[in-house]
Structure 1
Amino acid sequence: MAKVSKRFWFQLHGWFSLPVWVLFCFICITGTLSVVSHELTWLTNPAARASNPNNLPAKPIDELIAAVEQQHPTADITSVLVYEPYLVNAIIFTDHNKPQAIAYVNQYTGQIQAVNQGITFIGFMRALHGWLLFPWQSGYSVGYYLVSAMAIVMFGALVTGLIIYKNFWRAFTQPKLRFNQGKKTLLKDLHSLAGVWSMWFLLIMSLTGFWYLTQAIMWHNEIDIEEHPPLVSIADLPTSKTVPAISLSQALQLTKQQFTDFEPHYIMFPEHSRGMYSISGSNNTIFYDDYAFSTTINPWTGELAQTKSPGSMNALQTISHIADPLHYGTIGGIWTKLVWFIFGVILSGMSITGFMMWRSKLAKTTKAQLLTTDYIQEAQ
């Protein structure tokens, strides 16, 4: 069996990393910012801060909704998003002069601090990183495919990089940075050292990226990962009542009875007379996202039509609910987010230093070829 040369692995590593370096670097940078998008929102947007100087307990969600309905009497509340305790609750509604609006309601004071009719910074960064703002059509987005396909590039660069870097484990105990041997040597040391220390991060990003690519293919082919919420039976529809028999607070109470220590994070109201309450949240389980526990509740009868928790998930559903916390570093709150942010910066820097090394090598090769051509021409 022929032995593969180191030069081959080096060239393969370059092809995995360099032809798409601009796109790859952009995705790394936007992903790094997405990790701390909630914290950046808190820093830059005072209206999004849930100030609580008097240490008040959070008000029930139905009281926050009532505050929005009082200010916008004709509003149709569609959903509620609950973020970290230091960010306001987002109550999404439509009105006759607002096709879609988000009320920023302080959950401690009940005050509406702003009404946003555009895309939020959090939503913008996730969309920019997730699918490059490419439109969705027929269940797929070209941008989503492009971003998730970077998992192949990243995994290939990781494997070939480790093959090239002999005895890479020494970088943990004997890190080497040579500042006095020129720019080329320093770039190489920085790139190699960052790559070795980021192996675990590269592997996580690759594996979650592979899942997102698989998920995109499934969506495109109309293969469902989650079950669709059932519809209210026609027999359950009231003949005269126009107000649901079960209020939101009662639906939340039913959900909390179903799951201990349940914390709601997303609530969707019935979209029509046969629609149901959809309530999703968490209960302090590590690795699962904020939507791993959910109930679907019949608004007319109070029946628990559907429930979901990690214990009842199949393999694909489990992967779906642990991919985001691993990809965005939310598994341990702000501290793991900071770790993911730091390594996101390192990964972005690696793509830049890799390109600088490639450009330097290309310039050197081109110069040597030009000198050789000139020598041959003079000899003739």
Structure 2
Amino acid sequence: MAKLSNRFWFQLHGWFSLPIWLIFCFVCLTGTIAVFSHELTWLTNPASRATNPDNLPAKPVAELVTKVQQAYPTADVGTVMVFEPYLVNAVIFTDHDKPYAIAYVNQYSGEIQQINEGITFIGFMRSLHGWLLFPWPGSYSVGYYLVSAMALVMLGALVTGLVIYKNFWRSFTQPKIRFNQGKKTILTDLHRLAGVWSIWFLMVMSATGLWYLVQAVMWHADIDIEPHAPLVAVTDMPAQHSAPPVSFADAMQITLQRFPDFSPSYLMLPEHNRGMYTLMGGGEHIFYDEQAYTLSINPWTGDIAHEKSPANMTALQTVMHIADPLHYGTIGGIWTKAIWFLFGLMLSGMSITGFMIWGSRTVKAVRDSRNAASLQEINHGA
């Protein structure tokens, strides 16, 4: 009975890992690359580098927006994205001949180093990993569901693997790889050893992946985790058309007065007369993402219409804002990214070695079955 039980768990482990192993491996590899997407962007695109040979302080973001508006007088700036200090700021705008453009502005020199009218490497890798570039016909994407569902596969493979591998904790103190007993033994030992050392990583990826699946369902059901930015009341607007008295620079100053440790990351300017400044950024909490602090500021009155921070988040909002740092390993900068990258490679390798082990067992089983059938036919013939 025990032997039958072990066989059952082994087969279940295989079915959790193998039927969609190619998709699983692809998601793991793209996620591993996405961890270092910012660093790879700096490495491959000189225009994305925020060079600062004179050690100048970073200019205010509002000044960078002004630089773009001066270079493109008819442009409509909508968003500014702020990355690590070694990458330029991205000022996103539209113009009469540019339906979508990103100005790479060096925050130290104020120079516009490139105009990108396509998708960025960072955006491409995050999209490829997050939803396999499937379309979003509404509030959902089949690709996002497919990638998020990999969390169930990963969790099932983890649980069944621990059931199969008795006394797995010995691999922490007595790691074993037998190089002199054939290819199959080496693959099995590598698979087991990587699996045991990746238990914590598999748990983190499973937990955050399950959250992304829940989030996808909520998006599909039009359940808002965070409220949309409010609209300016008609009574706050002047009777005659005029420019809002509160500038982008003023809105940034209001934000810094409210949150002194505010580090801007995603800044949206009003899209229309009733739109507001929506300023998102990070703060002193390392486990929260770079959009944990949000302010909606009325451009006509300067009032804070809505604010969000770790201090007043709901439980769902808290989970949403700690999921990405845990999933991509950004909680400790380059060092935790390196750890996540290493274990991402290990997880990708586990999916490959698992398939190879399953393949060799399957081929052997088919060969043994054919030999048994042939032997049976010979015996009958005799």
Q: Same fold (TM over 0.5)?
A: yes
TM-superposition CA deviations, 1:196-249 (whole Å, max 9, x none): 000000000000000000000000000000011111000001123521110111
1:378 Cα offset (Å): 1.2
Q: Which amino acid aligns with 1:289?
A: D
C-alpha distance 4-260 of structure 1, shift in aligned 2 (>3 A): farther
1:2 Cα offset (Å): 9.4
Alpha-carbon distance between aligned partners in 2 of 1:4 and 1:214, rounded to the nearest angstrom: 35
1:308-327 equivalent positions in 2, closer than 5 A: 308-327=308-327
1:340-351 equivalent positions in 2, closer than 5 A: 340-351=340-351
TM-superposition CA deviations, 1:20-70 (whole Å, max 9, x none): 100000000000000000000000000000001111000011111111111
Q: Which amino acid aligns with 1:254?
A: I
Give TM-score, length-normalised by structure 2: 0.98
Alpha-carbon distance between aligned partners in 1 of 2:221 and 2:4, rounded to the nearest angstrom: 39
The aligned counterpart of 2:337 is: 337
TM-superposition CA deviations, 1:125-166 (whole Å, max 9, x none): 000000000000120000000000000000000000001110
Alpha-carbon distance between aligned partners in 2 of 1:355 and 1:62, rounded to the nearest angstrom: 53
Secondary structure class of the residue paired with 2:52: coil
The aligned counterpart of 2:84 is: 84
Do residues 144 (structure 1) and 126 (structure 2) align?
A: no
Secondary structure class of the residue paired with 1:311: coil
Give TM-score, length-normalised by structure 1: 0.99
The aligned counterpart of 2:297 is: 297
The aligned counterpart of 1:124 is: 124
Alpha-carbon distance between aligned partners in 1 of 2:265 and 2:135, rounded to the nearest angstrom: 26
Do residues 9 (structure 1) and 5 (structure 2) align?
A: no
Alpha-carbon distance between aligned partners in 1 of 2:315 and 2:258, rounded to the nearest angstrom: 22
Alpha-carbon distance between aligned partners in 2 of 1:239 and 1:3, rounded to the nearest angstrom: 82
Q: Which amino acid aligns with 2:321?
A: H
Alpha-carbon distance between aligned partners in 2 of 1:283 and 1:369, rounded to the nearest angstrom: 63
Do residues 271 (structure 1) and 271 (structure 2) align?
A: yes
The aligned counterpart of 1:370 is: 370
TM-superposition CA deviations, 1:41-100 (whole Å, max 9, x none): 000000000001111000011111111111111000000000000000000000000000
The Cα RMSD (Å) is: 1.1
Q: Which amino acid aligns with 1:195?
A: G
Q: Which amino acid aligns with 1:309?
A: S
> What is the identity percentage for the equivalent residue pairs of Structure 1 and Structure 2?
66
Do residues 195 (structure 1) and 195 (structure 2) align?
A: yes
The aligned counterpart of 2:307 is: 307
Q: Which amino acid aligns with 1:312?
A: N
The aligned counterpart of 2:361 is: 361
1:58-69 equivalent positions in 2, closer than 5 A: 58-69=58-69
The aligned counterpart of 2:246 is: 246
Q: Which amino acid aligns with 2:92?
A: I
Q: Which amino acid aligns with 2:354?
A: G
Alpha-carbon distance between aligned partners in 2 of 1:306 and 1:125, rounded to the nearest angstrom: 32
Of the structure 1 ranges 119-128 and 257-266, higher mean CA displacement relative to structure 2 is found in 257-266
The aligned counterpart of 2:159 is: 159
1:260 Cα offset (Å): 2.3
Alpha-carbon distance between aligned partners in 2 of 1:91 and 1:358, rounded to the nearest angstrom: 50
Secondary structure class of the residue paired with 1:312: coil
Do residues 46 (structure 1) and 53 (structure 2) align?
A: no
1:186 Cα offset (Å): 0.4
The aligned counterpart of 2:174 is: 174
1:376 Cα offset (Å): 1.2
Alpha-carbon distance between aligned partners in 2 of 1:337 and 1:4, rounded to the nearest angstrom: 42
TM-superposition CA deviations, 1:147-189 (whole Å, max 9, x none): 0000000000000000111000000000001111110000000
Do residues 99 (structure 1) and 99 (structure 2) align?
A: yes
Alpha-carbon distance between aligned partners in 1 of 2:81 and 2:253, rounded to the nearest angstrom: 17
Q: Which amino acid aligns with 1:134?
A: F
Note the residue ranges of structure 2 that are not aligned, 5 or more in a row: none
Alpha-carbon distance between aligned partners in 2 of 1:356 and 1:75, rounded to the nearest angstrom: 55
Alpha-carbon distance between aligned partners in 1 of 2:121 and 2:147, rounded to the nearest angstrom: 19
1:100-115 equivalent positions in 2, closer than 5 A: 100-115=100-115
Alpha-carbon distance between aligned partners in 1 of 2:274 and 2:20, rounded to the nearest angstrom: 48
Alpha-carbon distance between aligned partners in 2 of 1:221 and 1:227, rounded to the nearest angstrom: 15
Secondary structure class of the residue paired with 1:15: helix
Alpha-carbon distance between aligned partners in 2 of 1:182 and 1:53, rounded to the nearest angstrom: 56
Aligned residue-pair number: 380
Alpha-carbon distance between aligned partners in 1 of 2:51 and 2:26, rounded to the nearest angstrom: 34
C-alpha distance 4-306 of structure 1, shift in aligned 2 (>3 A): farther
